[in-house]
Amino acid sequence: MSESLSILKKYWGHDQFRPLQQSIVDAVMKKKDVLALLPTGGGKSVCFQLPAMMMDGLCIVVSPLIALMKDQVENLSKKGINALAIYSGMTFLEVKKNLQNAAFGDYKFLYVSPERLETKLFSEFLPALSPCLIAIDEAHCISQWGYDFRPSYLKIAKLREELPGVPVIALTASATLEVQNDICERMLFGKNQERFQQSFARPNLSYAVIEPASKQTKLVEIFSKITGSGIVYCKSRKQTQQIAELLQQHKISADFYHAGLSNAERSQKQNNWINNKINTIVCTNAFGMGIDKPDVRVVVHQNIPESLENYYQEAGRAGRDGKSSQAILLFDKKEINELREINILRYPEPDVLKKLYADLMNHLSVPAGIGEGQSFDFDLPLFSETFKWNILQATYGLQALSQEGLFFIAENSFRPSQLVFTVSKEQLFDFEKNQPSLEPLIKGLLRSYEGIFDYPTFIHETLLAKFTSTPIGIIRKNLQLLHQYQIAKYSPATEKPQIVLLMNRMYKDDFKFNMKDLQERKKNHLKRIEAMVDFSNNTTDCRSVTIANYFNDNTSVSCGNCDNCLKLKKTFLNETIFEKINIRIKQELSKKPMLYFELANILTEFEKEHLQEAIQFLQSEKIISGDKFGNLSLS
């Protein structure tokens, strides 16, 4: 057994690699730059984790999603592999501690959000980290022509300049040829680069686009027949709850999920679904990243997605165990205009962006000329209401400003409660004597948290309540009292999104924005929308082949099980069947002329579609003819 297979068996429990994994691992071991396109569930993480295990040094993994990083670190830890992560929302001391451990401890992987790469602290520790490999997850974020461009990803190229000779592996589930080329160019891939693209065909996955009279009725029908797990993707948070309630009313086990829920709620709902306590999760596209549940039997899109990239990735969460599964898109032609309107909203005009930027800075109370590196909790509904913005327009406008590199918007991330004493020990002692009711809490804090006089420390109210035998409500109330008395600075736990400024606030007259790039991104976004519309409207071509061709995979053949292929099978009239129908039609029409439905009621041994096609052919060849009343007879 080779070393790579031995490691695969030891840590992942597999006896053999999935398609392309071995070749990718070998290329990385030869220190080549690698671009790997592996579909959702194709085993991307093994492609960089396994070779890193065979190399001396640390693997730096750049990933955009905090939840995904946490999951990866936890999964590696379960395998007995030491890993760390640094991301937005962590304190300076936490980040420093993790970098010290990564540099001088027994750690193999360091997960980093792209925004952290340019910080002074990270730059100081970089030489001591001694990286052996740089892995870029969700690599399509590098390209502004892709569907999820993030300017912070462009900073990775600078990391390459500081680490000459360290190979890079870029991984994504979906990227067009244009995006693939852009990734390799922007990441300064060497001449000996290699690209690997697994087939986009999913033989066990049946795609279907349905245009029902009622989406709700069709949804209930689908999930009444399906046994096993399912996902319903919706366009809004409100819709997830409405549809989950609809399914529940019809005795279908379902729950809803979206990014607006608390961290605890999201974890509970996700775990209930993974452990089959509920069958169907109704969600926004905030759900699914990093979740590897193999037995999903159906994924339904309640609304048409903005791109084939999104659709393919989300639909691909069905059938990872290789068993027969369905991906169903419920289509309404009215949604096409809505998609095109989103294109206009997503890429606003310069005066709109300028006003939005000014309103945001005023909302955050950031004066002109300062702000770089500062982070702020951000409540989008409150901001929109305060400054009279349509919430959708504000959302897309902020994304456009973020893509310009002015700031980045961190996903919902849990930050525990923090406290630091703001008085001397002598002053605290005097306060304690005058406020005996707060004495147990103060002593509990001093005994539980070292350094609480020197810097903000994460605290846990539940543990303090247990330690002091005090109800949790009293603990929280007393912590607020310490804050009000200005004895300590107390910040309760939060799960809000954050805005992190990447540059100082621009003066009003100096506001600059690259409209040329924005317009180019708008044009590419519209192309992706039109490709998705064409896919939805197409009633003839194999859907699997259509998807594969979009991603420059020309190896796929008709799947035989999507709605269009099944329709073709049903209507395809071969010579043998035609001859049988021809003989029987002549037999019946030799007896007497008859209407089509009368003939069809007699020839029930044949498919109606085959019978119609045969009659049309016989009429065109003038073998049979019809009179003005519709009666068919032999010519």
Question: What is the token pair recorded at 2?
Answer: 């080779």
pLDDT at 102: 94
Mean pLDDT on 297-326: 93
Question: For the chain, what is the total number of helices (H) and then of strands (E)?
Answer: 26, 21
pLDDT at 455: 79
Query: Bigger pLDDT: 222 or 320?
Result: 222
Closest CA to 377 of 617, 172, 135, 88: 88
Mean pLDDT on 120-125: 89
Across all residues in the chain, what is the average pLDDT?
Answer: 89
pLDDT at 147: 74
* Residue 87 pLDDT level (bands cut at 50, 70, 90): confident
pLDDT at 571: 66
pLDDT at 71: 83
Q: Are strands 254-257 and 109-112 parallel, antiparallel or unpaired?
A: unpaired
DSSP reduced 3-state for 138: coil
C-alpha distances in Å from residue 582, one per residue of 392, 406, 564, 609: 60, 72, 27, 14
Mean pLDDT on 159-187: 91
Half-sphere exposure of 329 toward its Cβ, with a 13 Å CA cutoff? 28
pLDDT surpassing 60 at residue 1: no
pLDDT at 282: 96
* Residue 39 pLDDT level (bands cut at 50, 70, 90): confident
């603990």: which residue's tokens? 475
Distance CA 133, CA 49 (A): 10
pLDDT surpassing 90 at residue 43: no
C-alpha distances in Å from residue 143, one per residue of 172, 183, 212, 518, 549: 12, 6, 37, 13, 20
pLDDT surpassing 90 at residue 152: no
pLDDT of 453-462, one tens digit each?
A: 887 888 889 8
Surface-to-core class of residue 98, CB atoms within 10 Å of its CB (0-12 exposed, 13-18 middle, 19+ buried): buried
The set of residues, in sequence order, having a beta carbon less than 8 Å from that of 497 and lying 6+ positions away, is 377, 378, 380, 409, 410, 411, 412, 413
Angle between helices 439-448 and 472-484 (to 10 degrees): 90
Residue 144 main-chain phi, psi, to 5 deg: -75, -10
Distance CA 378, CA 108 (A): 34
Which of 27-41, 296-310, 448-462, 536-550 has the lowest average pLDDT? 448-462
Residue 575 main-chain phi, psi, to 5 deg: -65, -40
Please count the other Cβ atoms lying within 10 Å of the Cβ belonging to residue 425.
10
The set of residues, in sequence order, having a beta carbon less than 8 Å from that of 172 and lying 6+ positions away, is 36, 37, 138, 139, 140, 183
pLDDT at 290: 62
Surface-to-core class of residue 440, CB atoms within 10 Å of its CB (0-12 exposed, 13-18 middle, 19+ buried): middle
Closest CA to 501 of 345, 349, 365: 365
Q: Which residues of 299-336 are buried (b: 16+ CB within 10 A; e: fewer)?
A: bbbbbbbbbbbbbbbbbbbbbbeeeebbbbbbbeeeeb
Rg (CA), the chain: 30
Mean pLDDT on 628-632: 77
**What is the edge-to-edge ordering of all strands in the sheet holding 325-330?**
205-210, 325-330, 296-301, 229-233, 280-283, 254-257
- Torsion, Cα of 173, 176, 177, 180 (10° steps): -50
Distance CA 13, CA 7 (A): 9
- Assess contact for 249 and 308: CB atoms under 8 A: no
Mean pLDDT on 411-431: 84
pLDDT at 151: 80
Mean pLDDT on 208-219: 94
Angle between helices 391-403 and 515-537 (to 10 degrees): 120
Question: What is the token pair recorded at 217?
Answer: 């009725």
- Assess contact for 118 and 503: CB atoms under 8 A: no
Surface-to-core class of residue 124, CB atoms within 10 Å of its CB (0-12 exposed, 13-18 middle, 19+ buried): exposed
Distance CA 312, CA 327 (A): 9
Mean pLDDT on 179-202: 91
pLDDT surpassing 90 at residue 617: no
How much of the chain exceeds pLDDT 70, in percent? 97
pLDDT at 554: 83
Closest CA to 61 of 76, 79, 41: 76
pLDDT surpassing 60 at residue 245: yes
């991330």: which residue's tokens? 413
- Assess contact for 444 and 467: CB atoms under 8 A: yes
Closest CA to 197 of 175, 215, 217, 178: 175
Distance CA 315, CA 298 (A): 8
- Torsion, Cα of 220, 225, 229, 234 (10° steps): -30
Question: What is the token pair recorded at 311?
Answer: 């659709």
* Residue 411 pLDDT level (bands cut at 50, 70, 90): low
pLDDT surpassing 90 at residue 216: yes
Concatenated DSSP letters for 332-365?
-THHHHHHHHHHHHHS--HHHHHHHHHHHHHHTT
Q: Are strands 229-233 and 280-283 parallel, antiparallel or unpaired?
A: parallel
Mean pLDDT on 498-510: 88
* Residue 413 pLDDT level (bands cut at 50, 70, 90): low
pLDDT surpassing 80 at residue 391: yes
Mean pLDDT on 46-74: 90
pLDDT of 553-585, one tens digit each?
A: 888 888 888 999 888 777 667 788 888 999 999
DSSP reduced 3-state for 198: coil
Mean pLDDT on 473-479: 94
Single-letter amino acid, residue 151: P
Q: What angle do CA 296, 299, 304 make, to 5 degrees?
A: 165
Angle between helices 334-346 and 391-403 (to 10 degrees): 50
Alpha carbon of residue 355 to chain centroid: 30
- Torsion, Cα of 519, 522, 528, 532 (10° steps): -140
